[in-house]
Chains A and B, each alone.
Chain A
C-alpha cells in the first residue's frame, strides 16, 4: 500500500505538469515519471471498483508489465562468464545509443537488455552494435544528443548503419524482438513506445477512467 501512495503522488505531479497542451519536454518528463512508477494502479483487482486516473495520458503503468521478459538464454552480459562476443557493447552503451535514436531518456534497462541480447545474437545486420556506436560518435568527448546529429554523421545515409539503427528504434517502439530461435516475441506491451508516444490515450489494457472517452482530449500534442 505504501508503494501505491507514492505512486499516487507521482500521478498527481504528472497531472499538474500536463494540465496544459503538452510540450515535447513535458512528454519526455511524463515518460520518465511513468517509467519510474513501480506499482500497477491502473487496473483494480477483480471484484473491486477500478481506481480511475483523472486523465487518460497519465498511464502510471507498471515499470515491468511482463513479469519476466522472455530474455534469450544467453542471459545478461554481467552473468556471462566468458568474454563478450566481438562487436558487442555493454548495456549502458546500448541504452545511450537507444536514447539518442529514440529521443526518449530513461529507457527501461531490463527491457533494453532483452533487445540488446536479441540484436547481438542476430546475423541479419552488416554492422555490429560496436560499429554503430563508434560511427555515431557516442564514444567521443562530445557525443551527439539528437537524431539530427546522427543524421549529420551519416548514420541514415549508409544502408548498413541505417538498417541497424532503425531496428533499434523499432524494437523500442513495438516492444517486439526476435528470439534466439528467430521467432518474434514481446518484451513489453504497455511500455512499448508506440503506446507511450500517444498523447491522447494510454496503452490498451490499462485503465483510463470511466467515461473519459466522451470528451476531446485536452492534451493531444498534435502538430498545430
Chain B
C-alpha cells in the first residue's frame, strides 16, 4: 500500500491540469483554499514546443507535444496506437496530457451554447435535456470569457443572449471572410465573426494575435489563451501543481466519501494524495477510465457509477471537411485558422430528425485536408512546372485555396462508450482506453446536409475545383461520458457537477454535457468549472 505523504495532502485535490481543473485551482487558491493539482503529463516549454512543430514532418495537432511513455495520448494519424478501437466507426479526436491540457493545441473558438441546446428533448423530442438552463449558466459564461480573454463583436446576434459585453474588442474579419460574406448574402447565408479566446489587443499580459496562423497546434506568442495562463496564476496564489503524476485509482471509504487518489510516477512507483474534496477533470476519455478502473468489491462498477452511465454517451462534433479552389484569390494563410462561421443551422425544428450543425470558415488554405504550400510545391513540380512558373503557380493556387469544416451535433448513444482495456496496458501498466463508437443516423444525416449546404456555398462563391472529404474528421471535442442530470439512476453528476454517489467528488469537463450542441465545448466547460469552483468553496465552508 502506498505511503501517505504530507506533500500530497490538501483541502482540494484536483486530477487533471487542463482548463477546467486549472480554472478551479485558480479560483479556489484566490479564495485561500489549499489546492493540489495532479497532472499525468509534463509541463510545456513554449519555445521547445514551437521547435517541435517546425521540425515535424507531419504538422498535426500533437506535433509540438511528443507522447511520453507514462502518459501516452492518441494522435490523429495513429488512432489505434493508444485507443483500443472497437468500432464500428473510428473515434477520431485526440487530446494532450500536459500541464495546460489540450488548450495547448486547441483552436480557441469560444461560442456559447444556444438557449435551446439545453432543452432539445422537450423542444424537438431528440436527445435529452440538460438539468440547467442557459439563463442559469449565462453569468458564468461571462466570467469564463473574462478569464480566458475572449474577443468578439458584442453587437452581433449569435443567438446566445449576453448580459455583459465581450471583454476584448473583435478581431477583424479576414479578406477571405469578407469575400465569402458578400458572395453568400444573396443566397441567405450569413458569415459572422467567431468569438475567440485570442487577444485582439494586449490583455492579461499577453500580446495581440499577429497572424502566425498556427493556432492549432501552437500559438508562438501566446496571443491565444491556453490554460498555462491559469497554471501560473494558481501557482502564484499558492496552489501546488505536481506534473508526471498519473492518477489511476480513486479510493472511497465506507461512508461513500472519496478518501484519496493513488497515482503512479514515470518510474512506476506509487503515491497517494488525500484531501477533503476531490475534483477529477481529466477529460471525457481519461476521467471515466479512472473511475471505471477504481472498482472494488464494494463498488464493482467503479466509482461514481451506480447509474452505469460512466463512460457512456461519448460524443464529438464529427466534421464534414470540404475544400475548393475559388475562381478569385482569397489570400489564406494569414490569420487565426478559423475566424468566421455560418451559424444559422445550429437550431430549428429539423433537430427532431437530424443533427444541427455549424459551418466554420477555414483560413488555413488546404492545410487541414493535407495540402499546405510545401505539399502543393511537390504537386506542382510533379506536373513538370519549374522555375518562375513554379513560383507563379504556387502563388496562384495557394491564394485560391479555401475550406470549410461543418461541425455536426452528435446524439448521446449509450453504446458509444469508453472502458479500460484491462488486457492492453501502457508502459506503466495502466489500461489503455477502449472505445466503442458509431456516428449514428442523426449525425449521418447532418453530414449529408452539410455537403448539400457546402455545394450551395461553392456555387455561390465560384470555384474551379471542389472536394467533399469522403471520411468524417474528428473535431477534437471529447464530450459526454459522465453526464449531468437530476436523476441519479440515469446520470453521473448532479447539476452542480457533484457525483450523485459521493458527496465530496466533483467531475468537471465536457464529460458532464448531456448533449453536444454545436458550440465548441471549451467555453461551456470553462463556465461550468467556474460555477463548480463556487460550489466547492461553499461546500468547504459548510464542512
B302 to chain A, nearest CB (A): 40
Using Cβ atoms and an 8 Å threshold, which residues of chain A touch B384? 156
A220's partner among B207, B223, B329, B373 (CB-CB below 8 A) is B329
Question: Would you call A146 and B387 a contact (CB within 8 A)?
Answer: yes
Stretch touching chain B among A12-20, A48-56, A113-121, A134-142: A48-56
A121 to chain B, nearest CB (A): 18
Interface membership of B220, Cβ < 8 A: yes
Are A47 and B205 CB-contacts (below 8 A) given A56-B334, A204-B214?
A: yes
Chain B stretch 196-229: residues in CB contact (< 8 A) with chain A: 200, 202, 205-214, 218, 220-223
Interface membership of B468, Cβ < 8 A: no
CA distance A70 to B54 in the complex (A): 12
B50's partner among A146, A147, A197, A205 (CB-CB below 8 A) is A205
Using Cβ atoms and an 8 Å threshold, which residues of chain A touch B376? 194
**Chain B minimum-CB-distance residue to A205:** B214
Interface membership of B391, Cβ < 8 A: yes
Using Cβ atoms and an 8 Å threshold, which residues of chain A touch B378? 170, 173-174
Contact with B along A136-171 (1 / 0, CB 8 A): 000000000011100000001000000000100110
**Chain B minimum-CB-distance residue to A104:** B391
Using Cβ atoms and an 8 Å threshold, which residues of chain B touch A186? 54-57
Are A211 and B212 CB-contacts (below 8 A) given A27-B391, A174-B377, A222-B396?
A: no
B331's partner among A24, A147, A156, A200 (CB-CB below 8 A) is A200
Using Cβ atoms and an 8 Å threshold, which residues of chain B touch A67? 51
Question: Would you call B53 and A205 a contact (CB within 8 A)?
Answer: yes
Question: Would you call A213 and B202 a contact (CB within 8 A)?
Answer: no
Question: Would you call B394 and A44 a contact (CB within 8 A)?
Answer: no
Using Cβ atoms and an 8 Å threshold, which residues of chain A touch B381? 166, 169-170, 173
Using Cβ atoms and an 8 Å threshold, which residues of chain A touch B213? 201, 204-205
**Chain B minimum-CB-distance residue to A101:** B386
Q: How many residues of B contact A (CB 8 A)?
A: 62
Question: Would you call A190 and B54 a contact (CB within 8 A)?
Answer: yes
CA distance A199 to B50 in the complex (A): 24
Contact with B along A188-206 (1 / 0, CB 8 A): 0110111101111100111
**Chain A minimum-CB-distance residue to B382:** A166
Interface membership of B399, Cβ < 8 A: yes
Using Cβ atoms and an 8 Å threshold, which residues of chain A touch B332? 201
Question: Would you call A222 and B363 a contact (CB within 8 A)?
Answer: no
**Chain A minimum-CB-distance residue to B330:** A216
Q: Which of B339, B376, B378 lies at the interface centre, i.e. has the most chain A CB atoms within 10 A of its CB?
A: B378
Using Cβ atoms and an 8 Å threshold, which residues of chain A touch B46? 46
Interface membership of B333, Cβ < 8 A: yes
Interface membership of B392, Cβ < 8 A: yes
Question: Would you call A208 and B210 a contact (CB within 8 A)?
Answer: yes
Question: Would you call B387 and A148 a contact (CB within 8 A)?
Answer: yes
Using Cβ atoms and an 8 Å threshold, which residues of chain A touch B339? 213
Question: Would you call B334 and A208 a contact (CB within 8 A)?
Answer: yes
CA distance A195 to B398 in the complex (A): 10
Are A201 and B331 CB-contacts (below 8 A) given A176-B57, A213-B172?
A: yes
Q: What would 12 A/B residue contacts be, using CB atoms closer than 8 Å? A: A43-B212, A52-B210, A67-B51, A166-B382, A174-B374, A190-B54, A205-B50, A205-B218, A207-B210, A207-B211, A209-B211, A214-B172
- Chain A: residues with CB nearer than 8 A to chain B? 24, 27, 43-44, 46-50, 52, 56, 65-67, 70, 101, 103, 146-148, 156, 166, 169-170, 173-176, 184-186, 189-190, 192-195, 197-201, 204-217, 220-223
- Chain B: residues with CB nearer than 8 A to chain A? 46, 50-51, 53-57, 171-176, 178, 200, 202, 205-214, 218, 220-223, 329, 331-335, 339, 363, 367, 372-378, 381-382, 384, 386-388, 390-392, 394-396, 398-399
